[in-house]
Amino acid sequence: MVKYKRILLKLSGESLMGNQGYGIDETRLNEYAEQIAELVKLGVQTGIVIGGGNIFRGLSGTGKGFDRVKGDQMGMLATVINSLALSSALKNQNIQARVFTAIRMEPVGEYYSKEKAIEALQKGEVAIISAGTGNPYFTTDTASALRAVETEAEIMLKGTRVDGVYSADPEKDPDAQKFDKISFAEVYTRNLRIMDLTATTLCQENNLPVLVFNMDQKGNLKKVLTGENIGTIVY
């Protein structure tokens, strides 16, 4: 028995670069694909949103003199590159995946709609939903919250490099404590930056819980679905 029937997994672009400083590390990509394949084999309907920070972030462009909107569009295209890479890695695991794009660019991907994404999920295909929200000034955390709500996912799984939410930065503060559970209200009062505020508010207002967990530890994604207590649930 799996704990959730339909999930939305958020992967940061940065984590795809592994130990490299830039781009896509194929070892890391294949590890992620293996973990995702395990979920699909358990019958979990899996939607995925990937960031683009390993290739380009809009804000970093403004420092180089780029227009913010153009920079954000470059960032959104970066998420499409990562999504294509993941879909191809999943195919190598014999998992069917479809790439949707929030900005029209057939034949690179199908133009996203809630209906098409849900249809894919119901067929057991992984729906990789790319190009963020399609709008500048948003993040892929917000895009993943939006797609999770739209596709009626039970939970958003935020795969990170840390094993959960802490009261302070565990690398700087030896007294930092990890939460097993924390409410959105407490996240605000403690000023914990798990995601940007737009994303957090969207989750809170739509009663979408978020599980923050370490995706870089092999087998963790499956553990989440089989009900092991890992990571931190934000509710």
Tokens matching residue 184: 């959105």
The verdict on whether residue 9 carries a ligand-binding annotation is: no
Among the residue ranges 7-15, 86-94, 112-120, 156-164, the one whose residues contact ligand UDP (CB under 6 A): 7-15
Minimum CB separation of residue 34 from ligand UDP in Å reads 21
Taking the C-alpha atoms of residue 138 and residue 122, their distance in angstroms, rounded to an integer, is: 28
Among the residue ranges 18-26, 39-47, 73-81, 184-192, the one whose residues contact ligand UDP (CB under 6 A): 73-81
* Residue 124 or 136 having the CB closest to ligand UDP: 136
* Sign of CA pseudo-dihedral 64, 67, 72, 77: negative
Taking the C-alpha atoms of residue 19 and residue 151, their distance in angstroms, rounded to an integer, is: 33
| Site membership for ligand UDP, residue 139 (CB under 6 A) | yes
User: Considering just the CA atoms, what is the radius of gyration of the chain in Å?
Assistant: 17
Taking the C-alpha atoms of residue 121 and residue 123, their distance in angstroms, rounded to an integer, is: 5
Q: Say which amino acid occupies 50.
A: I
| Site membership for ligand UDP, residue 103 (CB under 6 A) | no
**CA count, 13 A, side-chain hemisphere, 69:** 1
Taking the C-alpha atoms of residue 44 and residue 61, their distance in angstroms, rounded to an integer, is: 38
Per CB under 6 A, the list member of 47, 75, 109, 159 interacting with ligand UDP is 75
Minimum CB separation of residue 68 from ligand UDP in Å reads 8
Taking the C-alpha atoms of residue 187 and residue 190, their distance in angstroms, rounded to an integer, is: 5
The verdict on whether residue 133 carries a ligand-binding annotation is: yes
With CA atoms as reference, report the closest residue to 154 among 5, 1, 11: 5
Q: Output the CA angle 160-218-193, nearest 5 degrees.
A: 10
Per CB under 6 A, the list member of 76, 84, 95, 156 interacting with ligand UDP is 76
Per CB under 6 A, the list member of 4, 8, 9, 12 interacting with ligand UDP is 12
The verdict on whether residue 11 carries a ligand-binding annotation is: yes
Per CB under 6 A, the list member of 6, 14, 42, 93 interacting with ligand UDP is 14
Q: Say which amino acid occupies 89.
A: A
The verdict on whether residue 189 carries a ligand-binding annotation is: no
* Residue 114 or 227 having the CB closest to ligand UDP: 114
| Site membership for ligand UDP, residue 164 (CB under 6 A) | no
| Site membership for ligand UDP, residue 101 (CB under 6 A) | no
The verdict on whether residue 112 carries a ligand-binding annotation is: no
Q: Which residues bind ligand UDP (CB under 6 A)?
A: 12-14, 51-53, 57-59, 71-72, 75-76, 78-79, 132-133, 135-136, 138-141, 143
